[in-house]
């Protein structure tokens, strides 16, 4: 029997690509809803639900996933602490793959960012992350940029909160501190996604960069995650688990 995949946010750009990728993977499209659609029915009809909607739906959708015993693939970014807690609570009952980015290439960059953070000490190397996205994006820095910063901090044996986050510099800010990870966000046109991780010391600079040319890479990765999560034990997973890197 084909895997039944439901799509929350099916009317959006990502939703339409997800529907195409579900068919390409040989799975069954169990249904789809917009942000205000009947999520209860969608979870009841699906084996796995892929959710690329909005942070405001996260608490409801995670609760439904847990209640119906259905795996959840969550690609929504910009979550509050309460919404993050709802994701963690659902993962105690069902498998949840929660990722800032479903591109295999980006997740390889995360692994490299962690390694670079471990090798390049903050006392000698300032870490800055520059990202650019389309003009409709509502959160900044992007979820991918934050995940990249978390990877650098983890490599340095810290959380991002412990390392410190510098964002939105403006005016007379004084000298850059030693240790914090800097973020800058650019918006314009229809840029799918560009991220650069820049380590700079007094004598050299290393730049790790990823560019997405087509949103389909995210849809393909999310459907791959859906196939991986089906029948998996409850837990909070990310794409490094799907790709066999964690």
Active site residues: 133, 137
**Token output for 134:** 């389309």
Please state the separation of Cα 231 from the chain's center in Å. Answer: 22
**Token output for 160:** 């991002």
Task: List the beta bridge partners of residue 199.
Answer: 127, 206
For residue 141, cis peptide bond before it (omega within 30 degrees of 0): yes
d(CA 123, CA 138): 34
Task: Please state the φ and ψ torsions of residue 130, each to the nearest 5 degrees.
Answer: -115, 130
Closest CA to 97 of 85, 111, 108, 87: 87
């Amino acid at each position: 029997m084909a895997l039944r995949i439901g799509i929350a946010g099916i009317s959006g750009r990502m939703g339409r690509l997800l529907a195409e990728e579900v068919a390409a993977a040989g799975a069954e499209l169990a249904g789809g809803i917009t942000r205000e659609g009947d999520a209860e029915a969608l979870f009841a009809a699906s084996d796995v639900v892929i959710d690329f909607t909005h942070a405001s739906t996260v608490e409801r959708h995670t609760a439904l996933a847990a209640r119906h015993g259905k795996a959840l693939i969550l690609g929504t970014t910009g979550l509050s602490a309460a919404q993050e807690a709802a994701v963690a609570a659902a993962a105690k009952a069902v498998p949840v793959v929660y990722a800032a980015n479903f591109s295999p290439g980006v997740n390889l960059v995360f692994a490299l960012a962690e390694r670079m953070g471990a090798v390049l000490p903050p006392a000698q190397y300032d870490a800055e992350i520059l990202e650019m996205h389309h003009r409709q994006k509502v959160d900044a820095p992007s979820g991918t940029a934050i995940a990249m910063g978390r990877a650098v901090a983890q490599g340095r044996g810290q959380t991002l909160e412990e390392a410190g986050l510098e964002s939105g510099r403006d005016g007379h800010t004084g000298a850059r501190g030693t240790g914090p990870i800097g973020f800058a966000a650019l918006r314009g046109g229809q840029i799918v996604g560009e991220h650069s991780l820049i380590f700079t010391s007094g004598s050299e600079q290393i730049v790790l960069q990823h560019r997405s040319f087509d949103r389909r890479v995210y849809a393909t990765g999310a459907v791959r995650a859906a196939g991986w999560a089906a029948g998996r034990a409850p837990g909070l997973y990310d794409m490094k688990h799907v790709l066999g890197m964690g």
